[in-house]
């Protein structure tokens, strides 16, 4: 997992936000106002994944995840979705 103080986190957040805006989905993340920290980056990855904007491989690249970490993280998103509903929008 990417380190919380990784200097590239703000740039990665901006790239994801630009991708989300380009698809016309920014209204779904505006209210959440994701921070440009690691938690915000994870939120944006989750939103982009569940809206079909990025793949599992892209999540792993953006968050610097090993294959096992990627599986655990995405499984936790699906588990949370089943328990609580979407939660990303």
3 inside domain: no
Q: Which residues contact 48 (CB under 8 A, 6 or more apart)?
A: 16, 19, 20, 54
pLDDT above 60 for 89: no
Residues 66-86, mean pLDDT to the nearest whole number: 90
> Looking at the domain assignment, is residue 4 inside a domain?
no
**What string of DSSP letters covers 27-69?**
HHHHTT---SSHHHHHHHHHHHHHTTSS-HHHHHHHHT--HHH
Cα–Cα distance list, 27 to 38, 70, 84, 88 (Å): 21, 27, 21, 12
Q: What pLDDT shows up at residue 32?
A: 67
**2 lies in some domain:** no
DSSP-derived letter for residue 87 is -
Residues spanned by the domain of 26? 9-84
Predicted local confidence at residue 26, as pLDDT: 84
Does residue 87 carry a pLDDT above 70?
no
Asked if the structure places residue 41 within a domain, the reply is: yes
Position 33 scores a pLDDT of 57
Phi–psi pair at 26, nearest 5 degrees: -60, -25
Condensed to tens digits (0 to 9), the pLDDT of residues 6-52 reads 999 999 999 999 999 999 988 888 766 567 899 999 999 999 999 99
Domain count, the chain: 1
This prediction's pTM? 0.86
């Amino acid at each position: 997992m990417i380190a919380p103080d990784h200097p590239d986190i703000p740039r990665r957040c901006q790239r994801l936000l630009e991708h989300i805006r380009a698809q016309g989905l920014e209204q779904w993340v505006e209210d959440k106002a994701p921070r440009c920290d690691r938690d915000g980056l994870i939120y944006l990855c989750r939103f982009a994944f569940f809206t079909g904007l990025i793949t599992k491989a892209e999540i792993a690249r953006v968050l610097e995840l090993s294959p096992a970490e990627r599986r655990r993280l995405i499984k936790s998103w699906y588990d949370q979705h089943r328990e609580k509903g979407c939660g990303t929008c």
